[in-house]
Structure 1
Amino acid sequence: MSASLLAPIAALLYLTATGLHLMHIFQQRQGLSRGVAVMGSIAMVCHSIVAVQGVSVTGGLSLGFYKISALMFLAVNLVCVLLMLRRPLQNLLVVLFPLSAMSVLVSTFAPETASITTQLPGGLLLHIGCSILAYAVLTLAAAQSALVAAQDYQLRHRHTHGIVQILPPLQLMEIMLFELLLVGVVLLTISIISGFIFLDDIFAQHLVHKTALTMLAWILFSVLLWGHHKLGWRSQTAVRLTLAGFAALMLAFFGSKLVLELILQRG
């Protein structure tokens, strides 16, 4: 089935699943309803086909701004679903599903912005794969930190209704945040090391900003993990450093691609 047909189906299912899950939350019910699970699963299957068709073109791979965005949100969703088998992260779907709907539509109907990459050795594939997984996990960490911030604010102001009633205890929320950060930093470390090894010049003019911002994000996340382990940093400190690192990481990837492909039109 063509991507032009599957993309609207995936988007519609994502948005419908979001609406159902919001109703589930407003009713202060725990867990994930069967309807959300079924529609979300079908949407991700359609999303997978669209994303693979988008990046796989005749003669090589298309890793343009719009195509890679759909692939990254697919990775975020898959990682979230996998982690939900162990941790209650289902409330993150309220943010992830609408963004996924937008990414799959834009990926399908927006014009191509990058030239086709014909040769990708195994080492470079490792770098790209670890980068996508690192971005996926750290995106979940950023979303989780936003929930921690909202929950901490309400508890500090003695608000016992609203988001406090539907989220796990704050201590568990923080544990999940630091678990995501640890996994994300490990993947980001592998991505950076493989980039130094397999890229011809990681500090080339068109890569230097991406490299510098990625290193900045790695430093911020690593300092946060060290501070949490050694000094007991948590709550607002964790939220601020997580969001700062995530902003640097997103600028490193999407910012550089946005400038090169959409403004300078250099694929």
Structure 2
Amino acid sequence: MQTYFFILAALLYLGCAFLPSERRLPISIGTVAGWLLHGGALMADMFAPEAVRVGFGVMLSATLWVSVAAYWLENRNFSLDSLRVLVLPVAAVAVILPSVFPGNMVALTGKSDWFLWHIAISILAYSTLTIAAFHAVLMVLQESRLHTRPGPAQSGWFSMALDRLPALLTMEKILFRLIAFGFILLTLTVLSGVVFSEQLFDKAFRWDHKTIFTLLSWGLFGLLLAGRKWQGWRGRTALSFTLTGFAVLLLAYVGSRFVLEVVLHRILV
């Protein structure tokens, strides 16, 4: 049953992604309907009595579920309609991943009470930094459009949506607000994973590719925030750090889990 809800949510996301900007009410209602279907099916698929499903498909789907909510809320406060053409198609793909790559169920018996909190915080961290990466892509497109004279082929609805974005300085403030919040959540994720590894995962902390990539991403975002505060970093420097940090973070969990689950057929927590 969840599979049908996942597919319906994906279709709603795709439909809303490519509606003209003027159809604000259908876009808003369709996005919320898709988000509710996505979330309900995801929760039913993830949780069972005394067990939780983990895997790169579930994690990516949950990350995009939160990212869609973040887009919808931000679009209430600022004119960020062009962000939906980036977020919703990716969410439409992510929403069906748990059906294709289900991962594995992990028994909660004997696990620390903080195990689910660790998963929830890590999903929120990845989601916040995912929407920050989408936001950075939007800023790259916005800056590029400012330096080129739009021709007839560049006057589509997406180009007009770019023209309605807030000023780059406002976009930059939103970006750093997202990065700062995501960095705090990522810090909590790292600390809980390092300090309470044995209680959370029933094994001592170890240096593996997942840990190294996560810490590298954490360092990149931390350096960006420090550079912003002490050196006034902005513009292309900020965008490059954001996209690089996100790419490394993506490799930390989603990339490594994909290799382990799909390529090597290994089941890990």
TM-score range, shorter chain: 0.7 to 0.9
Structure 1 window deviating more from structure 2 (119-128 vs 145-154): it is: 119-128
Q: Residue 66 in 1 paired to residue 68 in 2?
A: no
Tell me which residue corresponds to 1:170: 168
Q: Residue 46 in 1 paired to residue 44 in 2?
A: no
CA 1:88–1:130 in 2, change beyond 3 Å: closer, same or farther?
farther
Where structure 1 has 5 or more consecutive residues not aligned to the other structure, the ranges are none
What amino acid is aligned across from residue 141 of structure 2 in structure 1?
A: A
Q: Residue 153 in 1 paired to residue 144 in 2?
A: yes
Q: What is the CA-CA distance between 1:157 and the residue it aligns to? A: 4.2
Tell me which residue corresponds to 2:246: 246
Matches within 5 A, 1:111-260: 111-119=101-109, 120-157=111-148, 162=159, 164-200=162-198, 201=203, 203-204=205-206, 208-260=208-260
Where structure 2 has 5 or more consecutive residues not aligned to the other structure, the ranges are none
What amino acid is aligned across from residue 107 of structure 1 in structure 2?
A: P
Structure 1 window deviating more from structure 2 (189-198 vs 83-92): it is: 83-92
Give the TM-score of the pair, scaled to structure 1.
0.87
CA–CA separation in structure 1 for the residues paired with 2:237 and 2:115: 35
Structure 1 window deviating more from structure 2 (137-146 vs 82-91): it is: 82-91
CA 1:111–1:209 in 2, change beyond 3 Å: closer, same or farther?
closer
Give the TM-score of the pair, scaled to structure 2.
0.87
Tell me which residue corresponds to 1:5: 4
1:92 to 65, 72, 83: 83
What amino acid is aligned across from residue 172 of structure 2 in structure 1?
A: E
CA–CA separation in structure 2 for the residues paired with 1:56 and 1:185: 27
1:104 to 81, 95, 104: 95
Task: Please tell me whether the aligned partners of residues 66 and 127 of structure 2 are also in contact (alpha carbons under 8 angstroms).
Answer: yes
CA–CA separation in structure 2 for the residues paired with 1:87 and 1:212: 36
CA–CA separation in structure 2 for the residues paired with 1:172 and 1:99: 25
Count, aligned residues = 255
Task: Please tell me whether the aligned partners of residues 75 and 81 of structure 2 are also in contact (alpha carbons under 8 angstroms).
Answer: yes
User: Aligned to 2:143, what secondary structure does the other structure show?
Assistant: helix
Tell me which residue corresponds to 1:17: 16
Q: What is the CA-CA distance between 1:266 and the residue it aligns to? A: 1.4
What amino acid is aligned across from residue 168 of structure 2 in structure 1?
A: L
Q: Give the aligned CA root-mean-square deviation in angstroms.
A: 2.1
Q: What is the CA-CA distance between 1:115 and the residue it aligns to? A: 4.4
CA 1:53–1:219 in 2, change beyond 3 Å: closer, same or farther?
same
User: Aligned to 2:106, what secondary structure does the other structure show?
Assistant: coil
